Chains A and B, each alone.
Chain A
């Protein structure tokens, strides 16, 4: 089972990102589960969302304490919260940032920086990275396909063909940019 923790700020759509990830996994024929850290959400405050992906039925219902992957939607969160808490050694950390972040806390992990905000600003004219960053997740982990993410986007934005097209473009662009 793959356990994913997403760090974002209230309003950035960390919960939506986890949900779209779970739907994508479903379209790839896997079992999945997505849920937020249940709190009272406030705009701008640090929020967390979780996703589990497995080939078998997922029975566990507790929160995620030892993630296999961490996604960070906003680099200032690295100072604000313990983003590597419980993260397995050697695990990937995917960060939405324009600079190359290197810090001592990340030495045991594999850091992947990608400027999803820049891509989002170009395509949406707004800093919306919750779907965009999933392109990086697909590339780095190889766990879900771009096709599946595209289907999940079609699901999520039914009846809004333009929004669907822009999201697909953004995901693909980040997929191509990240190493």
Chain B
């Protein structure tokens, strides 16, 4: 399990600040299995993991989503071995993109706190009932000290009332959870999951808007966030903390008169293709930064953004940059270099920022 998060939760429980039961287990496979069981019993359930731990959970990821259990899990994004590496990239959660979990990526510790609160409300909405991964950059966020406003319990309770399950394990009203699904029903269950994802985008936006009303903080519309995007000809697209570094580069290049901007992709699943097309269609060129690779293909975010434009008659030139794998520092210079490349290049390039 990701270290700092359970340590601080243990502190909260020990100090009487958090009324919850903490279950100690021997592996990540068991951690998510325990969260699955408690969620099925009708209890709000949470866990946290990272890299190899997430890989070990892979089997249970599909069971949680298939059983429509609204578990929320923080993923401190880190590389997958080999070679052995404990540092930040997105290969772990990107490798789980088809596991039926909503995936939200965050840029700061504050956004991690706020998104976790929002995630329960999204997951537990009866029209959604899907698990959510809150993806925060390993080390770059998980091991950084910075000021965070932890909202008052009473305000959170008002925003996020008690979890009301649709069905729950109850000896007085017995039900079977997760039994065999023969070919005559299995596919219908999968269609329902897919339909729930279609509904979830609207719920994510509604929750983000309600969160802003209650807490006075917002991250775009909860799906994508624009920065200096209105008149931008050259647009950076990224997920997580590199968006913060990109803001600094954009401020600098704007002062030099360059029309640059950013679209931060906060929500990767459900994939917001319409929102992305709307945000990027006026641009001349787009630099998509992936911190993961689909080996034998390109960056996963790049490929999906490209396919989002396949029916559009007018589209920007979309470039692929692979950056920051296994903790390779993404510097201001890297992002500036990418902007300068896409300003010059007329056709799509793929570049590894080594």
Question: Which positions in A face B, CB cutoff 8 Å?
Answer: 18-19, 22-23, 26, 31-36, 38, 40, 58-63, 65
Give the residues in chain A near B247, CB-CB below 8 Å. 59
Give the residues in chain A near B331, CB-CB below 8 Å. 62-63, 65
**B248 in the interface (beta carbon within 8 A):** yes
Task: Judge whether A22 and B248 touch: CB under 8 Å.
Answer: no
What is the CB-to-nearest-CB distance from A28 to chain B, in angstroms, rounded to a whole number?
11
State the CA gap A26–B148 with chains docked (Å): 10
What is the CB-to-nearest-CB distance from B171 to chain A, in angstroms, rounded to a whole number?
43
Please give me the 3 A-B residue pairs with the lowest Cβ-Cβ distance, nearest first.
A59-B244, A34-B145, A61-B241
Task: Judge whether B146 and A36 touch: CB under 8 Å.
Answer: no
State the CA gap A27–B33 with chains docked (Å): 42
Task: Judge whether A61 and B139 touch: CB under 8 Å.
Answer: no
Task: Judge whether A62 and B143 touch: CB under 8 Å.
Answer: no
State the CA gap A35–B141 with chains docked (Å): 9
In the complex, 27 of the A-B residue pairs with CB atoms within 8 angstroms, ordered by the A residue number, are A23-B145, A26-B147, A31-B146, A32-B146, A33-B144, A34-B144, A35-B144, A36-B143, A38-B87, A38-B139, A38-B327, A40-B86, A58-B146, A59-B244, A59-B248, A60-B244, A60-B245, A60-B248, A61-B137, A61-B242, A61-B244, A61-B245, A62-B330, A62-B331, A62-B332, A63-B329, A63-B331
Scan residues 128-175 of chain B and give those whose CB is less than 8 A from a CB of chain A: 137, 139-140, 143-147
State the CA gap A33–B109 with chains docked (Å): 11
Give the residues in chain A near B327, CB-CB below 8 Å. 38
What is the CB-to-nearest-CB distance from A17 to chain B, in angstroms, rounded to a whole number?
11
What count of chain B residues pass the 8 Å CB interface test?
22
Task: Judge whether A62 and B147 touch: CB under 8 Å.
Answer: no
Do A62 and B329 contact each other (CB < 8 Å), given the known contacts A38-B87, A38-B139? yes
State the CA gap A63–B245 with chains docked (Å): 11
Do A19 and B87 contact each other (CB < 8 Å), given the known contacts A59-B248, A62-B332, A63-B329? no
Scan residues 205-261 of chain B and give those whose CB is less than 8 A from a CB of chain A: 241-242, 244-245, 247-248
Most central of B86, B144, B242, B327 by chain A CB within 10 Å: B144
Selected contact of B145 from candidates A19, A60, A63, CB within 8 Å: A19
A52 nearest in chain B by CB position: B146
State the CA gap A71–B88 with chains docked (Å): 27
State the CA gap A108–B144 with chains docked (Å): 31
A22 nearest in chain B by CB position: B145
Do A32 and B147 contact each other (CB < 8 Å), given the known contacts A59-B245, A61-B245? yes
State the CA gap A23–B248 with chains docked (Å): 23
Selected contact of B146 from candidates A33, A40, A62, A65, CB within 8 Å: A33
Give the residues in chain A near B245, CB-CB below 8 Å. 59-62
Task: Judge whether B329 and A35 touch: CB under 8 Å.
Answer: no
State the CA gap A171–B112 with chains docked (Å): 34
Scan residues 50-88 of chain B and give those whose CB is less than 8 A from a CB of chain A: 86-88
Give the residues in chain B near A65, CB-CB below 8 Å. 331
What is the CB-to-nearest-CB distance from B3 to chain A, in angstroms, rounded to a whole number?
14
Task: Judge whether B147 and A31 touch: CB under 8 Å.
Answer: yes
State the CA gap A85–B103 with chains docked (Å): 39
A33 nearest in chain B by CB position: B146
Task: Judge whether B145 and A33 touch: CB under 8 Å.
Answer: yes
Give the residues in chain B near A33, CB-CB below 8 Å. 144-146
B147 nearest in chain A by CB position: A26
A57 nearest in chain B by CB position: B108
State the CA gap A34–B147 with chains docked (Å): 10
What is the CB-to-nearest-CB distance from A41 to chain B, in angstroms, rounded to a whole number?
12
